[in-house]
Structure 1
């Protein structure tokens, strides 16, 4: 099936920011009296705000702070750690190749637009995407497929002609339920959570070679 559009998640997929987010969550947890050695105490693929009900239950936290306040504190810590974040290897070259092949590109992220704009400016990503869908534009979060359906509609393409890049099991499930093919982006232990993806690559240098050899297939 011909690929007409490539849709990318942001955190952990375009950006190598998992460690920074892990540290940001740990800092807020510490302010709530919870000290954990877990590198990633949060759940990938569900967004910062959606993580807080999960973390409150996981660590049996008693707090009067709302999930919105806790999410804002987490994002503020994350902003202070942006110097530790980088774009995944090969991403810019891969996007350039997609555009050469007339394949549209889009970002589908549960982040809010303000954070996306900040990241776009910090990492010079604004021109990489033909369309952007953020958390404000959907009512249901991954693993619900809504964000990918909305993104395909915005691009004007059918789901069967979309290829999604995701780093979480929730994201892979959402894309599959939307009727799209999926490339999991991850390595080591993280790659084991992407078993339902059609392919798994460590970064875009791997997939770039595959696309260059056979652009019509996954």
Structure 2
């Protein structure tokens, strides 16, 4: 199926639409340093991108014998993100959204909490692109659990298999597939080993495919 053939698009936020991963990773590193004195290594900043703060804090405890309180790390990390975050869209993301706005039903499904998501979308000037916004505040289980994709599809009144999900990390890809949705991996330069059977595109690639269909609808 082509982009036009799906009833709706469901997009991830962090690392997919906005270049927020570096801010989340730095905030997590600052929280860990403040609580334990341990300074994350550069590769651990990248490792953080595919995890949640609580999981990674628990991993670091096991790895280095730390005594981190995962909930306190998460709290400190969220506070620090608010201090340092700047909403930056990846190249081609805004043009892709503008192309499809009004032509395709679009939703956001993100592991981030609502208090972070709404200001980020408004700062990036893409809040009005989405018919539905589902965040970590709406679910019991975050990605890679499929709950957030299933709830978003239900809110859109579409079947998951008729949606196309855009994700940058493996946990999002797993969530989409578990929900029965089709998924595209968005390559924004992170070192991710995507499954061989998942299509991988940059936003500029996807914009070109969208514009190509405008002139060749068949």
Matched pairs, number: 211
Partner of 1:33: 37
Normalising by structure 1, we get a TM-score of 0.86
SS in structure 2 of the partner of residue 195 of structure 1: coil
Aligned residue in 2 for 1:23 = 26
Residue 45 (structure 1) shift: 4.0
The question of whether the paired residues in 1 share the 8 Å contact of 2:25 and 2:48 is answered with: no
Contact 1:20 1:82 survives alignment (8 Å): yes
CA contact (8 A) 1:26 1:41 kept: no
- The answer to whether the Cα contact below 8 Å between 1:172 and 1:196 also exists between their aligned partners in 2 is no
CA contact (8 A) 1:7 1:165 kept: yes
Matches within 5 A, 1:152-167: 152-167=153-168
TM-score by length of structure 2 reads 0.86
Consecutive unaligned residues of structure 1, counting only runs of 5 or more, are none
Judge conservation of contact 1:168–1:193 (CA < 8 Å) in 2.
no
What displacement does 1:79 show?
Answer: 1.9
Instruction: Tell me how far 1:197 sits from its aligned partner.
Output: 5.9
Q: Which moved more, 1:50-59 or 1:106-115?
A: 50-59
CA-to-partner distance for each residue in 1:120-153, whole Å, 9 max, x for gaps?
A: 2322221121101111211112111111011100
Runs of 5+ unmatched residues, structure 2: none
Structure 1 residue ranges (4+ consecutive) displaced by more than 6 angstroms after TM superposition? none
Among 11, 19, 23, which residue is 1:8 paired with?
Answer: 11
Shift of 1:103: 1.2
The superposition leaves residues 78-118 of structure 1 with CA deviations (integer Å, 9 ceiling, x where unpaired) of 222213x4111122221122224x21111101111111122
Find the residue that maps to 2:108 and give its secondary structure. Answer: strand
Q: Is the 8 A contact 2:9 2:107 kept in 1?
A: yes
Alignment of 1:104-115 (within 5 A): 104-115=105-116
**Distance between the aligned counterparts of 1:107 and 1:94, measured in 2?**
14
Give the alignment of 1:181-200 within 5 angstroms.
181-188=182-189, 190=191, 192-195=192-195, 198-200=198-200
CA gap 1:193/1:22 in 2 versus in 1, 3 angstroms = same
| TM-aligned CA distance change 1:54 to 1:97, over 3 Å | same
| Structure 2 counterpart SS, 1:107 | strand
Distance 1:128 1:156 in 2: 17
CA distance 1:56–1:153, change in 2 (3 Å) = same
SS at match of 1:193: coil
Mapped contact 2:15–2:188 kept (Cα < 8 A): no
How far did residue 4 of structure 1 move? 1.3
Distance change >3 Å, CA 143–CA 22, structure 1 → 2: same
Shift in CA distance, 189/16, structure 1 to aligned 2, threshold 3 Å: closer
